[in-house]
Amino acid sequence: MPRIRPFRPGDEPALADICLRTADAGGDATGVLDDDRIWADVFALPYVARHPDLAFVVEGDDERLLGYVVATDDTDAFEDWFAREWWPSRATAWPRPERETSRQDGVLIYAYGRRAGAEPYSLGHPAHLHIDLLPGAQGQGWGRRLIATLVEALRERGVEGLHLSTSTDNVGALAFYPRLGFVPIGGHPGVQSFGMRLGDEG
């Protein structure tokens, strides 16, 4: 029977693989970008580098990882750290595109633009998360359990709210998050954001 456990050092390659295999609106993004590594370096690995204690994984009987949730409890501080410390070390591999002519350009332009206040959702919802499950682990309640585990950890820290964003092409995610108590809080073309107030137990 799979189980949820805290992230531990050494899990990074498995998280990067899961991120890649779910990055295309929930589907496999292998080959979508010129360099597959970009997905995890933007959306997964910085979180376990800065907040390993806010990362949880689903581990199968064979110890293979099947999914994860990663998060920050302070979006503004995280985004400034990402811009100041995390992303510059990757800039030599992936220079900033002058304009968006490919999907990889769009992801890189997003990464280069990350900073406190770039998105408004941290006001009232200071924490944010990313969650991914391999197809074989979906539909079994693991996403709900991962988020519940994270929410408990955030409540213990006194965090007042949590948000996330998902592609409007990810129909499953758009239906899933409201069932957990998330409510729409805004978005922009191609992206829908949801928030949850953590002081509310319902």
* pLDDT computed for residue 114 by the predictor: 95
* pLDDT computed for residue 43 by the predictor: 97
Q: Token match 């890649």: residue?
A: 20
Burial of 94-118, coded b for 16+ CB within 10 Å and e otherwise, reads beeeeeeeeebbebbeebeebebee
Task: Extract the tokens encoding 141.
Answer: 């309640």
Task: Give the count of beta carbons closer than 10 Å to the beta carbon of residue 201.
Answer: 7
Residue 9: which of 60, 61, 45, 63 has the closest Cα? Answer: 45
* pLDDT computed for residue 200 by the predictor: 54
Which residue ranges of the chain lie beneath pLDDT 70? 200-202
* pLDDT computed for residue 8 by the predictor: 97
Distance from C-alpha of 107 to C-alpha of 97, rounded to nearest angstrom: 10
pTM over 0.85: yes
Cβ 5 vs Cβ 59: under 8 Å:
yes
Task: Give the count of beta carbons closer than 10 Å to the beta carbon of residue 200.
Answer: 9
Q: Is 67 exposed, middle or buried (0-12, 13-18, 19+ CB in 10 A)?
A: buried
Q: Where are the domains of the chain?
A: 3-157
* pLDDT computed for residue 199 by the predictor: 76
How many alpha carbons lie under 13 Å from residue 3 in its C-beta half-sphere? 6
Residue type, 161: G
* Domain range 3-157, CATH architecture: 3-Layer(aba) Sandwich (3.40)
* pLDDT computed for residue 102 by the predictor: 96
Burial of 17-29, coded b for 16+ CB within 10 Å and e otherwise, reads bbbbbbbbebeeb
Distance from C-alpha of 80 to C-alpha of 76, rounded to nearest angstrom: 6
Residue 154: which of 75, 71, 34 has the closest Cα? Answer: 71
Task: Please tell me whether residue 24 adopts helix, strand or coil conformation.
Answer: strand
